[in-house]
């Protein structure tokens, strides 16, 4: 199966917790205990369904393949005060960054944005009490016992939002995947036609020998109307919601569209999708700057953006070290106020 078809950032899941085991109604029947009392044990609790954020998972594909998860029922109690065994919980691994919604009520149940975070989405039923629990001074031979309670059943909608420090944005063929491949160990598909990238990719960037390691996210290229569903960008724009910094990549080669218009188009799509996202701190980088014409177009882009524009070339490795320093510096400045306030 092609790798692109295995990526899923949405999935539906039906979670069925196990029923609690019934309590037991029993009386001791032993040769030398003619007046043996009640000895019915309690039932065991039913198993719960638990979602856990796993750093080794990168997609909801495995969840989408098995859309129903059921935990086992607790065992019933037995005589001689033997309690039924509690059923084990069923744990489902999901990617870090998964949002868990109740499908019926549309409310957010959990945001699993930290590795190891977990949430019980369907609670197992409670085991019933056996008749030994109901013995009193006035009722020494109770026949009362409890049935186990049903486990919860819940329909869930899971939505993945990637957790990254830097989001790479730009038009199709702006060089996002190529840049990700030369900066990190990620190996996205690279080709000279639009929409080569069909799903987001993450890569780990070592900024400097003593600098932080940053997570970069490459999403499919944006086109005009992406916020309304055109192209592939609308489906994946939500993956930029958790990024702390946006890196606008603009193709400045001779055959590319006007760089200033390309930059404006991407900004307009971000603003139409989410004003908060458009206001996110950002850097602008001109890509494929490998000749004088591209250098001139990069200078025109700098005038249009009214901010410094990095000159990059993945082929010649131009500007990559400067990019590492800028990314590390920008994120360090953004995190400094938060650290100082703690």
Lowest mean pLDDT among 71-80, 202-211, 265-274: 202-211
**CATH number of this structure's domain 166-337, picked from the four choices 3.40.50.720, 3.40.462.40, 1.10.760.10, 3.40.50.300:** 3.40.50.300
Query: By the 8 A CB rule, do 124 and 148 touch?
Result: no
Rounded Cα distance between 292 and 252, Å, is 11
152-211: per-residue pLDDT in tens?
999 999 988 877 889 888 888 888 888 888 888 655 444 443 444 446 777 778 766 666
Bridge-partner residues for 306, per DSSP? none
pLDDT at residue number 76: 97
Rounded Cα distance between 334 and 339, Å, is 9
Query: By the 8 A CB rule, do 168 and 202 touch?
Result: no
pLDDT at residue number 162: 77
For 321, phi then psi, to 5°, come to: -65, -40
- 223 vs 291 pLDDT, higher one: 291
Q: Is the confidence at residue 324, as pLDDT, over 50?
A: yes
pTM of the entire predicted model: 0.71
pLDDT confidence band for 10 (50 / 70 / 90) = confident
Q: What percent of the chain has pLDDT over 90?
A: 49
Residue ranges of domains in the chain: 9-160, 166-337
Rounded Cα distance between 132 and 192, Å, is 76
Angle formed by the axes of helices 259-273 and 292-305, nearest 10°: 40
- 8 vs 252 pLDDT, higher one: 252
pLDDT confidence band for 300 (50 / 70 / 90) = very high
Query: By the 8 A CB rule, do 166 and 217 touch?
Result: yes
pLDDT at residue number 135: 92
pLDDT at residue number 117: 95
101-111: per-residue pLDDT in tens?
999 999 999 99
pLDDT confidence band for 2 (50 / 70 / 90) = very low
Lowest mean pLDDT among 14-28, 128-142, 290-304, 325-339: 325-339
pLDDT at residue number 193: 38
Highest mean pLDDT among 130-139, 168-177, 227-236: 130-139
Rounded Cα distance between 37 and 178, Å, is 78
| Angle, CA of 246, 250 and 256, to the nearest 5° | 160
Q: How far is the CA of 69 from the CAs of 43, 153, 207, in angstroms?
A: 23, 10, 42
Q: Is the confidence at residue 22, as pLDDT, over 60?
A: yes
pLDDT at residue number 308: 92
Q: How far is the CA of 310 from the CAs of 121, 287, 305, in angstroms?
A: 47, 8, 12
For 98, phi then psi, to 5°, come to: -80, 130
Rounded Cα distance between 86 and 71, Å, is 11
- 209 vs 300 pLDDT, higher one: 300
pLDDT confidence band for 13 (50 / 70 / 90) = very high
Q: Is the confidence at residue 338, as pLDDT, over 70?
A: no
pLDDT at residue number 172: 82
The mean pLDDT value for 277-303 works out to 93
| Number of other CB atoms surrounding residue 195 within 10 Å | 14
Buried b (16+ CB within 10 A) or exposed e, 259-278: bbebbebbbbbbebbeeebb
Highest mean pLDDT among 31-35, 87-91, 172-176: 87-91
For 215, phi then psi, to 5°, come to: -100, 125
Query: By the 8 A CB rule, do 166 and 185 touch?
Result: no
Rounded Cα distance between 56 and 198, Å, is 21
pLDDT confidence band for 311 (50 / 70 / 90) = very high
Classify strands 282-287 and 309-311 as parallel, antiparallel or unpaired.
Answer: parallel
Going by the DSSP 8-state scheme, the letter that residue 72 receives in this structure is P
Rounded Cα distance between 244 and 71, Å, is 39
pLDDT at residue number 239: 77
3-state DSSP assignment of residue 91: strand
Terminal-residue alpha carbon distance, the chain: 48
Name the architecture of domain 9-160: Distorted Sandwich (2.70)
């Amino acid at each position: 199966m092609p790798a692109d078809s295995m990526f899923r950032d949405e999935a539906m899941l039906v979670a069925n917790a196990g029923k609690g085991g019934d309590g037991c109604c029993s009386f001791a029947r032993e040769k030398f205990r003619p007046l043996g009392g009640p000895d019915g044990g309690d039932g065991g609790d039913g198993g719960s369904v638990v979602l856990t954020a796993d750093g080794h998972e990168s997609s909801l594909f495995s969840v989408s393949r098995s859309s129903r998860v059921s935990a086992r029922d607790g065992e019933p109690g037995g005589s001689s005060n033997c309690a039924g065994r509690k059923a084990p919980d069923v744990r489902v691994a999901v990617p870090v960054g998964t949002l868990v919604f109740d499908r019926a009520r549309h409310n957010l149940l959990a945001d699993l944005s930290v590795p190891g975070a977990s949430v019980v989405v369907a609670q197992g039923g409670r085991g019933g009490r056996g008749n030994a629990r109901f013995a009193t001074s006035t009722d020494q031979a109770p026949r009362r016992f409890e049935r186990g309670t049903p486990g919860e059943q819940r329909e869930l909608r899971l939505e993945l939002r990637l957790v990254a420090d830097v989001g790479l944005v730009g038009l199709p063929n702006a060089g996002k995947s190529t840049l990700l491949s030369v900066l990190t160990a990620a190996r996205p598909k690279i080709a000279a036609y639009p929409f080569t990238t069909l799903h987001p990719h993450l890569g780990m960037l070592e900024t400097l020998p003593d600098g932080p390691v940053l997570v970069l996210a490459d999403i499919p290229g944006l086109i005009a109307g992406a916020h309304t569903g055109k192209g592939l960008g609308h489906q994946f724009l939500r993956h930029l919601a958790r990024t702390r910094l946006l890196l606008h990549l603009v193709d400045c080669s001779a055959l590319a569209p006007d760089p200033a218009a390309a930059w404006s188009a991407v900004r307009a799509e971000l603003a139409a999708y989410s004003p908060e996202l458009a206001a996110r701190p950002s850097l602008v980088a001109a890509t494929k700057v490998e000749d004088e014409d591209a250098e001139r177009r990069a200078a025109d882009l700098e005038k249009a953006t009214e901010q410094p524009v990095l000159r990059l070339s993945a082929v010649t490795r131009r500007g990559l070290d400067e990019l590492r320093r800028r990314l590390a510096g920008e994120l360090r400045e953004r995190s400094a106020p938060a650290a100082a306030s703690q």
